[in-house]
Structure 1
Amino acid sequence: MTGKNAREQPLEELAEMFKALQDKAKTQAHVIKKFQKFIKSEGLFSHAVNCFPYPMAAFKYDGDLVYINNALSDKTGLSIADLSKAKHSILNRITDQNFQILDAVENVFLGETAFLSNLSDPLAMFIGDRSDKKISFPSYRNAVFFPILEDGNQITLGAALFMK
């Protein structure tokens, strides 16, 4: 390999990697847009969203939870009934290790979607105060935070979807 080719090859490899990152970001954005459309047409409280296999929560601007799906309830012991009995704000439960969640929650109401990775046990935010569960969920380290749009594309809620 000549000197010029030896210098160009790493740049070509980097260019390919950046292209792959761009493609991944486009795919993620496309998936979220489809999910937003689905929620808009079927409703947040639809059977399909409730049975979605990934833990999901919806929250108001102040961080108060208004909805959790079955997957999140099964993991944490928090139920929809708990949300109607007492306020449960995720903003009060953000740790130093998960401080990036605060920005994601705030930015959702500015219309932004955030893909977070390497979170430190984010599902622990959803374990109720009176719960005896002290379970850790180290495999759930990634999340996407996105706005939920109503008619007229007004942002009324934010959503968090957690992934392994």
Structure 2
Amino acid sequence: MSRHHLTRLFKSFIGTTPYSYYQEIKLEKIKEALGDLALNISEAFNSCGADYSGGFAEAFKKKIGMTPSEYRKTLQADECDNRKQPEQNKLFPMITFHPVCESEEQFFQTAELFPIPIQIFKRNGDIVFINEAVLKMWNVKDTSQIIGKYNLIRDPFANGQPELQDGIRKVFRGETVLIPDVRIPLENFWEWYKTRSSVYDIEAIYTDILNFPVAGADGQMAYMVAAFFTSRIYQGKSEVAKAREYIENNWREEFDIDSIAKAACLSPSHIVRLFKKYTGMTPYSYYQEIKVSRLKEALRDKNLSVSQAFLSCGFEYPGNFARFFKEQVGMTPSQYRKIMD
């Protein structure tokens, strides 16, 4: 299906384009995160799976009518007593059937046309539909291995993740919920469905999951739809993928080659050799590269001083990392901030 066809189909079914709908939900989550004053603006964006220096900052300004910094200031003015909590879980109207989907069969046929992974659940949590993109992502052979055998509400993985569990509860109450950066439990699927293939080289997938209710002809919630937007994929050599995933999830911590090796199920010396062979750098260099990237993001946050930007990434300023930053970037942190102005 062409992108143009997909957009027209989604708009006729939902009433807006796929990206506009996705962007609307993400912007609402960014607004909620900006209300948490324990987070700086860059961290608020990151908690929603968005880059503060990227397009969502500009989209925020166009949609809300002010920059993220200005929006936060209005919250601070309204919440000067620090007791009022940020608005949570804004309710969105349930999506009703349009003429394009006069029956459940048409509803499922329409969902099958989308190239992104889509799952559809009944009100009791039983899965009733998955499209081919889900089978490919999960490396499951066919729908018969899942349909009638999986219940989202009773899923032990989902119930073991507080944010995921909370989001699922809300969507089954009729809310639209975006759950960012969820690690798909591929290992569980391989164990449950005995499906891992020797040619499937993906070790981990992180995805934003957009969940929304769909009402039936009577106006009551009939289904819950989950759409998956992949944010990170770790693939290639299994041990190296696991090491990369561990480093990126623990970049704020002290570098620990033993923990990285344990995550990859190898000895420290072995993972260092293997990592360099497949990435061209050592695990420590990769770790440093990520920290420099995160520090650049923090330095772009004008609400933070240079010292605060360093502290938000776990560094002291001035210190050794300031010198390392200059070596890697070719300018001091202050100079980098100036060219970003």
TM norm structure 1: 0.64
User: Does residue 70 of structure 1 match 2:132?
Assistant: yes
1:108-136, Cα deviation, whole Å (9 max, x unpaired):
23210001112122666765713232853
> 1:96 and 1:49, CA in 2 relative to 1: closer, same or farther beyond 3 A?
closer
Equivalent residue runs for 1:56-67 within 5 Å: 56-67=118-129
> 1:33 and 1:62, CA in 2 relative to 1: closer, same or farther beyond 3 A?
closer
Residue aligning to 2:167: 104
CA contact (8 A) 1:40 1:150 kept: no
**How many residue pairs are counted as aligned between the two chains?**
141
Residue aligning to 2:194: 131
Distance 1:124 1:39 in 2: 38
**Deviation of 1:142 (Å):** 0.4
Distance 2:100 2:151 in 1: 22
Distance 1:103 1:75 in 2: 24
Equivalent residue runs for 1:9-48 within 5 Å: 14-15=69-70, 33=95, 37=98, 40-41=101-102, 43-46=106-109, 48=110
1:58-80, Cα deviation, whole Å (9 max, x unpaired):
11233221110110012221532
**Deviation of 1:100 (Å):** 2.0
**Amino acid of the structure 2 residue aligned with 1:50:** E
Runs of 4+ that moved beyond 6 A: none
Q: Structure 1: which 5+ runs fail to align?
A: 1-10, 19-28
Which of 142, 153, 162 lines up with 1:79 in the alignment?
Answer: 142
**Deviation of 1:14 (Å):** 1.0
Greater Cα radius of gyration, structure 1 or 2: 2
Residue aligning to 1:150: 216
CA contact (8 A) 1:78 1:126 kept: no
Q: Identity of paired residues, percent?
A: 21
> 1:127 and 1:71, CA in 2 relative to 1: closer, same or farther beyond 3 A?
farther
CA contact (8 A) 1:78 1:127 kept: no
Distance 1:108 1:67 in 2: 17
**Deviation of 1:95 (Å):** 4.8
Distance 2:189 2:156 in 1: 8
> 1:12 and 1:114, CA in 2 relative to 1: closer, same or farther beyond 3 A?
closer
1:93-118, Cα deviation, whole Å (9 max, x unpaired):
42577432222222223210001112
Distance 2:163 2:107 in 1: 25
Any idea what SS the aligned residue of 2:203 has?
coil
Higher relative contact order (Cα pairs below 8 Å, separated by 6+ residues): 1
Any idea what SS the aligned residue of 1:45 has?
helix
Which of 229, 244, 249 lines up with 1:163 in the alignment?
Answer: 229
Distance 1:116 1:39 in 2: 28
TM norm structure 2: 0.34
